[in-house]
Chains A and B, each alone.
Chain A
Amino acid sequence: MSRLEELFKGRSKKALLMPYTTGGYPTVKDCRQVLEAFIAGGADMIELGVPFSDPLADGPVVQASTQQALDQGVTPDDVLQLASEFTSRVPVVLMIYYNCVFAYGVDRFVEAAAAAGVDGLIVPDLPVDEGEEFIDACRARGVDAILMVAPTSPDERIELIAGSASGFIYCVSVAGVTGARTSLSEQLPDFLWRVRARTDVPLAVGFGVSTSEQAAEVARFADGVIIGSRLISMLDEAPDIGDGCRTIVKFLKEVNEVLN
């Protein structure tokens, strides 16, 4: 069992809380402060995005954060460095688009992630059918290849994905890109039951979760809750980074209350 799986299985909370932010946003320095805020707010693990020029699974909020990081010259190496500063304190998974992995060299990137102490890698544009080399490299280096399933995935595909999954399965709450949504899909429970029936790997839900009410709802059916765009918006809207981080800590604590 991987470290992430052990964390899920040994939890006392209803569901683990995994905040997301874009690596190097708003700046590399301020991003450290954001990650500290995640820890202070009670994050059980952290998802850190590697900025990519063409993030086609992301909505406007994450896109803009990505562009801002890129404009400052943030590279995958910078994000690996940033991650390595936190991995001894909290498990970190990286979200990275496939072209960045491919350009780095699939094995070389997984090796660098392992060396940084990263527990898992999420590649949103690499479906399981194209992922053999990547998944093998992850296995060889003891890093979880976190695979995604979507509400549109038929049962046979869920089985196929479950067969290669480790760490947790990233369940996309709605057919769509990242971004806060006012309500969860009515089909979410049915979707999660379909996945649950086909795997023992823990299930985390992301895309669109943005309030503690939604987190509480998700926690009834899933093992983990991922919140991203809402947190980035808090930073966008705050007068300064200190203020943004305080808002985030307060919000994450509220969410944690409903998850405990």
Chain B
Amino acid sequence: MTIQSRFGPYGGRYVPETVIPALDELAAAYERLKDDSGFRAELNSLLKDFVGRPTPLYFAGRLTEKLGGPRIYLKREDLCHTGAHKINNTVGQLLLAAEMGKKRIIAETGAGQHGVATATAAALFGIPCVIYMGIKDIARQELNVVRMKLLGAEVVPVSSGSQTLKDAMNDAIRDWVGNVEHTYYVIGSVAGPAPYPALVRDFQSIIGREARRQVLESEGRLPDELVACVGGGSNAMGLFAAFLDDQVSMTGVEAAGEGLDSGKHGASIERGQRGVLHGSMSYILQDAYGQIIEAHSISAGLDYPGVGPEHSWLHDEGRVRYDSVTDAEALAAFTLLSETEGIIPALESSHAIAWIVKHAEDYGKDGVVIVNLSGRGDKDVHQAARALGIME
């Protein structure tokens, strides 16, 4: 089977001709290796011993009690090495890059989690690594910038445009166009030109495969609902993919920022139109002339005016519901989870928590919901402390 490049009308490869041969090369390498027993064995061993998988499916008893709704389980991607789901993908892609003989690694990052995960995997494989990051994100995710540098990566500040993830991705693509023969570009979400959306989904799908097995063990049945935050959409696709053929409802939570009507949000599916950004057709935030509109979110990882093409398709098909929560709601959920469960979540993941807080009463007490806790909140403590008035 060849790798999926279109999801309904979405996806494709809208990139300069210069990199098309590299996308062909990547697709061919992935096609050849993805079911190769040696490659799989190596990947599984890295996921187990380096990443720390499987991650627990944790029954959040106090949160469940507090909300008085369904039984809430947290898929603990925050317990992955480096603190978020991003490493599932970077370990897989670095293994590919090494197999393909690539000599240099580049990546874009927003929250810095993908940058840290890429720098980590690059260190593990001994390949030099350059990370592009918007200067606005460098300021709000300082911890991760230091981590990347400690891991030996070069962090290139991006000062163009909105100075966030979108612009970091532009510069990473520009770098790739110029160095395509020996450089491997590690895209951090289910976005970008084909084959990345399918490839990143596959590497992240371990989340849902584990969660499905774990929930069957603990509940003896499938859950009623899956909830995950959606920036580009990799943690959500990773959780959803294994359940798409089941009778399980799913919700992707986008960033409503300061409110959908404020114009300052990251809700590409709810408020965007079809268009092309960073190599694929999907829902994007744009004006009537197709100029990309800056997104806004308190969480750098959701501060992106696009979304992976498969999500746009799952939306149109009605298979997944997409909703959004505001900065304030996410911040309240950040505090709530910290205090009730002793888990400080990433601000991105706090959006998923906030959604179930808002909707718990839609489910009976015997309902079962899995929330993807995509990352831990260490990187966000300064920003949260300022927003909550704990610190100047």
Contact = CB atoms under 8 A, between A and B. Distances in A.
A148 interface: yes
Nearest to B173: A56
A150 B16 CA distance: 9
Contacts of A177: 174, 177-178
Interface stretch (B39-47, B209-217, B271-279): B271-279
Interface string B160-176: 11000011001001100
Contact of B16 (A54, A70, A125): A125
Contacts of B16: 56-57, 124-125, 127, 148, 150, 172
Interface in A27-77: 52-59, 63, 67, 70, 75-76
Interface stretch (B84-92, B110-118, B246-254, B284-292): B284-292
B12 interface: yes
Contacts of B161: 53-54, 67
Contact of A52 (B14, B173, B278, B290): B290
B87 to A, nearest CB: 27
Contact of B289 (A56, A63, A104, A172): A104
A130 B17 contact: no
Interface string A89-125: 0000000011111111000000000000000000011
A103 B288 contact: yes
Contacts, number: 119
A152 B13 contact: no
Interface stretch (B18-26, B95-103, B232-240, B262-270): B18-26
Given A125-B14, A125-B15, A53 B292 contact: yes
Interface string A3-40: 00000000000000000000000000000000000000
A202 to B, nearest CB: 18
DSSP majority for the A interface? loop
A237 to B, nearest CB: 20
Q: How large is the interface on A (under 10, 10 to 19, 20 to 34, 35 or more residues)?
A: 35 or more
Contacts of B13: 127, 129-130
Given A148-B17, A157-B21, A103 B286 contact: yes
Nearest to A123: B14
A231 interface: no
A150 B292 CA distance: 27
Contacts of B170: 54-56
A211 interface: no
A57 B167 CA distance: 13
Interface string A135-165: 0000000000001111111100100010000
A152 B300 CA distance: 35
Given A99-B275, A126-B14, 20 more contacts: A56-B15, A56-B177, A99-B277, A99-B292, A101-B290, A103-B288, A104-B289, A124-B16, A125-B15, A127-B14, A130-B12, A130-B13, A148-B17, A150-B17, A150-B18, A152-B20, A157-B17, A172-B17, A175-B180, A177-B177
The 9 closest A-B pairs by CB, nearest first: A103-B290, A176-B178, A150-B18, A99-B290, A100-B290, A53-B291, A99-B276, A53-B292, A150-B17
28 contacts: A53-B161, A54-B167, A54-B170, A54-B277, A55-B170, A56-B174, A57-B16, A67-B161, A76-B290, A97-B290, A99-B292, A102-B276, A102-B290, A103-B288, A103-B290, A125-B14, A125-B276, A125-B279, A127-B14, A127-B16, A128-B17, A149-B17, A152-B19, A152-B20, A152-B181, A157-B20, A161-B17, A177-B178
